[in-house]
Amino acid sequence: MLLIDILIKNRLVFLKYIDFNLYQERIAVEKISPKIKRRVVQSAFGALLLSSSCFSVAAYAQAGKGMDALAFGGVPAADIPTQPVAAYNGMVVSASDLAAKVGAQVLKDGGNAADAAVAVAYAMAVTYPAAGNIGGGGFLTIRLPNGQAYFVDFREKAPSAATETMYQDKDGKVIPNASVLGWKAVGVPGTVAGMELVREKWGSKSRADLISPAIKLAKDGYVLTKEDIELFSTSTADFAKDPEAAKIFLKEDGSAWKVGDVFRQEDLARTLTLIAKKGNDAFYKGKIAQQIVAASVKHGGILQMKDFETYQPRIMQPLTCSYRGYTIDTAPPPSGGGVALCEMLNIIGGYDMRKLGLQTLPSAQREIEAMRRAYSDRRDLGDPAFVQNNIERFLNSQYAADVRKTLNFKHAVDSAALVPGQVALAKTIKPSVKQTHEKNETTHFSIIDKDGMAVSMTYTLNGWFGARVVAGATGIVMNDEMDDFATAVGKANMYGIVGSKANAIAPGKTPLSSMTPTIISKDNQPFMVIGSPGGSRIPTIVLSVLTGVIDYDLNIQQAINLPRIHQQWEPVPVQLEFNALSPKVREALKKKGYPLDLYSTWGIAEGIVVGKDKDGKRIYYGGTDYRHPGGGAVGE
Asked if residue 96 lies in contact with residue 124, where contact means CB atoms within 8 angstroms, the answer is: yes
- Provide DSSP, 231-269: HHHTSHHHHTTSHHHHHHHB-TTSPBP-TT-EE--HHHH
Residue 438, Cα to own-chain centre: how many angstroms?
12
460 known member of a binding site: yes
Dihedral of alpha carbons 242, 244, 248, 253, sign: positive
- Find the angle CA(80)-CA(85)-CA(86) to the nearest 5 degrees: 155
| 463 among annotated binding-site residues | no
Q: Tell me which DSSP letter residue 406 carries.
A: T
Which of 79, 82, 80, 103 has the alpha carbon at shortest distance from 634? Answer: 103
Check the annotation: does 468 bind a ligand.
Answer: no
Is 451 annotated as ligand-binding? no
Pinpoint the alpha helices (H) of 351-498: 353-356, 361-377, 397-405
What kind and span of H or E run contains 634? strand 632-635
Gap between the Cα atoms of 183 and 186, Å rounded:
5
Is 408 part of any known ligand binding site? no
Is 115 annotated among the ligand-binding residues?
A: no
Is 350 a known ligand-binding residue?
no
Query: Is 322 labelled a binding residue?
Result: no
* Residue among 479, 511, 502, 493 at smallest CA distance from 568: 493
Nearest one of 190, 192, 191, 187 to 296, comparing CA atoms:
187
Q: Could you write out the DSSP letters of every residue in 288-319?
A: HHHHHHHHHHHTT----HHHHHT---EEEPPE
The whole-angstrom separation of Cα 268 and Cα 635 is 28
Q: How far apart are CA 137 and CA 478, in angstroms?
A: 10
Residues recognised as catalytic: 442
Nearest partner of 349 among 543, 63, 68, judged by Cα? 543
Going by the annotation, the residues of the binding site for L-glutamate are: 155, 460-462, 484, 513-514, 535
Going by the annotation, the residues of the binding site are: 155, 460-462, 484, 513-514, 535
